[in-house]
Amino acid sequence: MAHVELNKQNFFHNLDICSKQANGKDKIAIVLKDNAYGHGLIEIATMAKEYGLTNAIVQNIEEAHKIEKYFKHILILADTKKESLSHSFHITINTIEDIALLAENTNIHIKVDTGMHRSGIAPDELQSTINKAIEYKLNILGIFTHFKSADIMGSEYFTQKTIFKGVIKEACEICAKLNLPKFKVHSCNSSALFRETNFNEDLARVGIALYGYIENQSPLFIPNLKPVLSLHSLKISSRILKKGQSVGYGGNFTANKDMEISTYDIGYGDGFKRLPKNITYATPTNENILGNISMDNISIDSIKNDICLFDDVKKLAQLHNTISYEILTSINPTIKRIIV
Ligand SMILES: *Cc1c(COP(=O)(O)O)cnc(C)c1O
CB 265 within 8 A of CB 43: no
Q: pLDDT band for position 217 (50/70/90)?
A: confident
The Cα–Cα gap between 53 and 109 comes to: 19
204-206 and 253-254 beta bridge pairing: unpaired
Going by CA atoms, what residue is nearest to atom 3 of ligand 1?
189
Q: What is the pLDDT of residues 105-119, one digit of tens each?
A: 999 999 999 999 999
208 lines ligand 1 (CB under 6 A): yes
Inform me whether the pLDDT recorded for 54 exceeds 90. yes
Q: At the top level of CATH, which class does the domain 229-339 belong to?
A: mainly beta
Higher-confidence residue of 218 and 54: namely: 54
329 vs 334: CA distance, rounded Å:
12
Closest ligand 1 atom to the C-alpha of 191? Answer: 7
Would the CB of 207 count as within 6 Å of ligand 1?
yes
Q: Read off the pLDDT of each residue in 48-61 and give the average, rounded to a whole number.
A: 98
3-state secondary structure of 111: strand
Distance 77 CA to ligand 1 centre (A): 10
SS3 141: strand
| Confidence at 218, pLDDT banded by 50, 70, 90 | confident
Q: pLDDT at position 202, please?
A: 98
Active site residues: 33, 249
Q: How far is the CA of 18 from the centre of ligand 1 (A)?
A: 14
Q: Which residue's alpha carbon is at the smallest distance from atom 13 of ligand 1?
A: 146
Tens digits of residue pLDDT in 292-328: 999 999 999 999 999 999 999 999 999 999 999 999 9
CATH H superfamily, domain 8-211 = Alanine racemase (3.20.20.10)
User: Buried b vs exposed e over 195-231: b needs ≥16 C-beta within 10 Å?
Assistant: bbeebebbbbbbbbbbbbbbbbeeebeeeebbbbbbb
Q: Do domains 8-211 and 229-339 have the same CATH topology?
A: no
15 has pLDDT over 90: yes
Q: Domain coordinates of the chain in residue numbers?
A: 8-211, 229-339
Is the pLDDT reported for residue 123 higher than 90?
A: yes
pLDDT at 251 over 90: yes
Q: How many Å lie between the centroid of ligand 1 and the Cα of residue 277?
A: 32
